[in-house]
Amino acid sequence: MADKNGISILIAFVERGQGKSVSRIFLENQISISFQCLGSGTASSELMDVLGLGTSEKDILLGLASGTTAERFMRKLAQDSGASPETHGILFDMKLTGLNSRIATLLLHTGAEGHGGATMEQDHTRNSLILVTVNHGFTDEVMDTARAAGARGGTIVQARWTGGGGKEPEHFYGIHVQAEKEIIAIVAPTENRNIIMETINRKHGLNTKAAAMICSLGIDHLVRL
């Protein structure tokens, strides 16, 4: 594995069906490795209709690029609204800490191409990505708690516990683990991160029926699409 201080992951949450537009603009900006999966927003469809925000169903795009390429791309979107894909959502990037050597070499070589420019202000002191894994069926309760603590919303990805070698349900270090999981991704100001995480843990932590596992990552740059 290569030391991956020079590689970033770009993550976009956009409305269902708009993932192709993001994938296309990724390719146009030398972000050649990307993946797409499905998610859903935490707001009800009725609320989305009232607000005119479209569907709560989401496309989630994950892209890999050199830090130089990612920063250049994010700066371009932040400075030129015409460069943004025709989508509604958010896009942010974070530094990776490990990656296959061959892929890292390819991405770093690609990132060396093109022209530089003014360095965009780092965003990781302002926003964080909070990831909450909960048992299936507890998302609404956890999001109500998160909103009360300052979160504005989140995106849900369906998941499944695989730590028990395929057996279900399992016990993990004395904790009962339900097989069906939901992952809630919340982007929040870093100043609100701790209170959101602590409140979720206090009300829905591992010793509750929700069995929430919580972590956070710093965001380098963020733009709204």
Q: Sketch out the chain's domains with CATH numbers.
A: 2-120 (3.30.70.120), 127-220 (3.30.70.120)
Q: What is the dihedral of CA 91, 96, 102, 106, to 10 degrees?
A: 40
Identify the burial level of 35 via C-beta atoms within 10 angstroms of its C-beta, where 0-12 means exposed, 13-18 middle and 19 or more buried. Answer: exposed
Per-residue pLDDT tens digits of the chain, which is 225 residues long = 443 448 899 999 998 899 888 999 999 998 988 899 989 887 654 444 444 444 578 999 999 999 999 999 999 998 876 666 677 889 999 998 777 777 788 888 765 544 443 333 455 568 999 999 999 999 999 999 999 999 998 999 988 776 555 555 566 656 666 778 899 999 999 999 999 999 999 999 988 999 998 999 999 989 888
Quote the pLDDT of residue 6.
83
Q: Taking a C-beta distance cutoff of 8 angstroms, is the pair 145, 204 a contact?
A: yes
Quote the pLDDT of residue 91.
93
Q: Which residues contact 216 (CB under 8 A, 6 or more apart)?
A: 128, 129, 130, 131, 193, 197
Work out the number of other CB atoms within 10 angstroms of the CB of residue 47.
Answer: 12
For 166-194, write each residue's pLDDT tens digit: 555 566 656 666 778 899 999 999 999 99
What tokens does 55 get?
A: 């569907």
Quote the pLDDT of residue 99.
77
| Short-list 57, 197, 60, CA closest to 130 | 197
Q: Taking a C-beta distance cutoff of 8 angstroms, is the pair 154, 146 a contact?
A: yes
> Residue 8 is which amino acid?
S
